[in-house]
Chains A and B, each alone.
Chain A
Amino acid sequence: MYVAVKGGETAIANAHRLLADKRRGDRSLPAISSEQVIEQLTLAVDRVMAEASLYDRALAALAFRQARGDMIEAIFLLRAYRTTLPRFGTSLPIDTGHMLIERRVSATYKDLPGGQLLGPTFDYTHRLLDPSLLEDGPVEEGERRTEACEPAMRVSDILAGEGLIEGDGTLQEDEGGGDLTREPMEFPMSRDLRLQALARGDEGFLLALGYSTQRGYGRNHPFTGEIRIGEVEIELYVPELGFAVSLGDIRVTECQMVTQFKGSSKVPPQFTRGYGLVFGQSERKAMSMSLVDRALRAREFGEDILAPAQDEEFVLSHCDNVQATGFVEHLKLPHYVDFQAELDLVRRMRGEYEASRPGTQIPQTKEAAE
């Protein structure tokens, strides 16, 4: 018998009212604005945009505030919002070679064209808490250097000049054009779809998987060929105008990971590559993505698939934190009937167990309960 149960409307309304109250916190403090979040908690906004797979600073900041700083809740809000919008089209591919660079480092070449540009990095800070931030004192502007800078060519192009590294990735004829937001995942998955999934994947999950490859679970001995962060132009072809127009610039982080060799009877040994490209400033995510991208190419290179990071179905089915949180968190919803059924079952099993113990009269012929 199925019994519909209703109730809780008042409790829910009051819970949401309490949530709004807690979100506002102490009324004697000024409310935080989206502009403050965008300007001063920029990397939180970047992470929300990256994992929501939607670049819009203002909306990401709103989501972050609405979620009281809960990243995955904010990502969920932004994902939900994007489903309400029509798709106008697809941009031309962005050109990271023409990026307005804010940071660019290479761990493989010290003196490379364009140089090592540290940008606004946490690296080389001593990770000591800075009490001066408790005061709202004046902060110096960035130093400027006016002498001309040579263009920063891609490290992969430097290596490619000698033929020591595989080219930028190509796809098979029957691959490409897929979009995970339109079609369900199917395995095996082509590299373009894998990169789409990884670009929106959970930073923590990809970080852990990338780390696992370094510790020996799918080892491929990486070097950071290049990390670059900066602004790229988004261009869209507009048929009414007859040309591609610029819509504005977005900040992205790109990582070129160079890993050990692969060759064959036809191709001499050369470095292989993993690629990471992420909305906003997040080199941890871009680096992790490039490690996992390389690990997931195991099949392509004929490597043994032994480690979790090499198992595309495992990685790609679990890297989306909105899906993951949906399934994990659904467990807190009422399961009263399911649980009642299981209680019933365990009582029956215990009855059978008691009955089958030595000393009892009943012979042990019962089958194990399912």
Chain B
Amino acid sequence: MNEALAIPEAHSGAKRAVDLIARATRAEISALWKDGEGPPLASLLRGPETGLVMVQGRIGGGGAPFNMGEVTVSRCSVRLASGTIGHAQALGTDREKARLGAIAHALWQEGTSRERVEQVLLAPVEARLADEHQRKSEETAATRVDFFTMVRGED
């Protein structure tokens, strides 16, 4: 989206995973683990913590950036016993979601567990988001005005 910070090809798959985890609900991430089992042990490298990110807009929509206001963001970085490090960051104040998301991100990077993360977490979230996007677009489209011209004349 932003030309200057275009994602290198090597990162595109990684970005998709991180972005989907950010949009997952805590329940969707927790579905990775059976009830009573819980996530694998992971040491906390940073957080989970809540802070602010200043959101920038652009003057006129596409001009110079300006500070519009802040959003709350919660983030966490973890290391699995295998040494793999995972990061998660998402809007809101749900620090537990950030912790679970970081574990999910670490698991996604490991060959043995990537498939499970894809199937149980990423694919369903992707499908849900696509559904929501479609529903919203179609609801908005139903409010589009179709102008018509009244025929005027004497006949």
Interface residues of A (CB under 8 A from B): 49-50, 53-56, 58-59, 82, 85-98, 100-103, 110-111, 115-120, 142-147, 149, 154, 156, 167-171, 175-176, 178-181, 191-193, 195-196, 199-200, 231, 233-238, 240-250, 252, 254, 256, 273, 275, 277, 279
Contact = CB atoms under 8 A, between A and B. Distances in A.
Contact of B53 (A200, A234, A256): A234
A144 B142 contact: yes
Contact of B63 (A55, A168, A238, A244): A168
Contact of B50 (A85, A118, A149, A233): A85
Contact of B90 (A94, A176, A235, A248): A248
B27 interface: no
B15 A146 contact: no
Contacts of A168: 58-63
Contacts of A235: 1-2
Contact of A180 (B7, B50, B67, B144): B67
A19 to B, nearest CB: 25
A94 B55 contact: yes
Is chain B's interface secondary structure helix, strand, loop, or mixed overall?
mixed
What class of interface size applies to chain B in its complex with A? 35 or more
Interface stretch (B28-36, B117-125, B131-139): B131-139
A256 B124 CA distance: 38
B81 interface: no
A93 B2 contact: yes
B72 interface: yes
Interface string B36-75: 0000000000000111111111111111111111111101
Contacts of B89: 88, 236, 238, 245, 247
A115 B144 contact: yes
B143 A118 contact: yes
